[in-house]
Structure 1
Amino acid sequence: MTMLSKPLENPAFIALRNRTVMSAMSRSFADAERCATDEMAAYYARRAAGGAGLILTEGTLIHASGDGWVNAPYIAEAKHADAWRKVVDAVHAEGGAIACQLWHMGRISHADFTGDAPVSSTNRAAAGVNRQNNKPYGEPRALEAHEMPTIYGYFADAAERALDAGFDAVELHMGHGYLPDQFMDGQVNDRTDQYGGSVENRCRFALELVEAVTARVPGSKVMARISPSRMMGGLYEWPDLDAMIAHLIPALSQLGLGALDVSCANSPYHETAGRMVRKIRPLFDGVIVAGASLSADEAEAELASGMVDAITWGRAFIANPDLVQKIEQGQELTPFDDAMRSTLV
């Protein structure tokens, strides 16, 4: 039995039939009411049938204030949760587990989607344009300290809806420059109150968020995606990186967070996420998942090192619904092509 095919049985997190994880990837196929569709159910079920141990859904919006993506699904209301049930049931019927990635885009959202100014840690606009409408990012409104519990409540409400709909777990998207990351990243966060400045203050939003969610749902069913190191026209990392990790990770562990998804956002693994997991592993008691760009042999070696508990793949799962079966049988993988984005196959 290979390391990848071994079941994952860690009391900190949900049990998985193997060590393979399909990463969250936005696909933009929700319906006009932002509900999951039959087509989406079939798409995710094919990956479960192909052997995926855990599927992380595409980013799923918790509230309209965090919207900046065409046809991204929501889980902000009961109708959204009800629509997700068919996806969950289809994945479970194929023996897989599925977690709903909970998403608030912060200043990366856009008034065209939210109907109002984006919210963030800062009032400085992000550089560049929103790829969904090709318009410059708008000037955000910095959240007031008294508004933080409302945002946490959106996440916690969504987590409850997701678990009630049958999801095995939820993932808090705290990476890739989205709202929680806008607090942790000192290159974005320019606050002078208790949510900015020091390492402890920059971690406060994320830690209070996890605390609020795990007060409502079991920590063993909660994971968080972080991306302290990634490529963005060159290496991009949190300022005070080691101090941030030294403060944030043990605190997340103490809060009972079940798993960490260390994501490098399509960057070379060993230059980004692979370096990070070696800093994080001694500080975190739960499950760690990472990988993204690794070959099957590299994934085996990374699992054998003990640095991670499961391996993530993203675009490889789009190109290969039967990715896990192909790896197990030593078959050549179909390379990803951008044209594959246009359909749910």
Structure 2
Amino acid sequence: MSPSAWIDTAVLPPRRLPDTVEAALAYLAGALGHAVYAQWTLARLKRRYGSLAEAKAKATQPAVLKLLLAHDAAIEYWERGRLRTVPADQAPAADTVLARLLHTHRRRFKTAQASSPPVAVPEAAASAAPNLWLASLAHGVPGLAWLARAGRFAQPHAATNTLGAADDGQALALFLRDRAGRSSHTLRAYGAELRRLMRWCDVRQLGPLSDLTRHDLLAYRHALQHGGSQPEQAGPPRSDSTRTRALAVVASLYRYWYDTGYLHANPAAGLAAGGRARVGFTPTRLIAPALLAACDAWLDASPPDSVAALPWLRRRAIWALYRYAGVRLAELVWAPEAGLPRLEAEAPGRWTL
């Protein structure tokens, strides 16, 4: 069966898969969010990463490179929930991998005979697709007439508004199409969080969304954290994970609008930032490694004949404190009025600042 006989029912409007197996596998990789089938040679690795050393450093490429040292080609393919790497002569055919994936995701990908949506999408229906996205979002949020308006931060100039949206309704529909169009689960999650924000705005008589200030969005974040006096006011206090997810969706919406030119300012910048963003922080030194090594060698060396012992020891103490104790430079400044720094020496060779 040709790949184009299969339809992706998780997007609006539903669309056929490409005609060729290679193009269909590329589409599935984008739709599912992970690699599904790739053939590697040493030449392709060099073209992709610039050098074999760079390819080896990548998370998934050491296994590929190891196989290529003994074989002419290697295949990466998705099977049973993980990416497998085997020599090319041991890998299943590309159409076999495609058939397995379509069967695994048979709730999403259906043949033309089994799919309930129409196979052919008329031009009128395609042009009305943004209205379908908006209907899926605004369901359960009645009376939001301001979706047909644009707020103070909207960009009226067509030359810079690359999104081409004239009001919040169109801009929301395009955001959902681009960011949630490949997964019904993502669309449902995004819709739930955006409906929560719109209900909160409706209760407080705010809107449209492109009119919200940073103060408004911070008040919404506070409502998520501490709850509102009424269920409509963002509901009871939310858990950390729920609040993080809600703010991430809101921040993603405004960042998308700002990046595409629909907004000329982003009032949600940094709205979802928190401690998790700093979990992977790695401190770096301001001093170059060569200079640091030279300073350490000076610290271990004997004092020269031209320098008295006491100033030499004092300099070593200052550098050692700065090097190992994380002392600020301001804390090392001599302050006679405060009697600082105060240094207490103990035998044998112990001292306290």
Report the TM-score when normalising by structure 2. 0.22
Name the structure where strand makes up a greater proportion of residues.
1
Report the TM-score when normalising by structure 1. 0.23
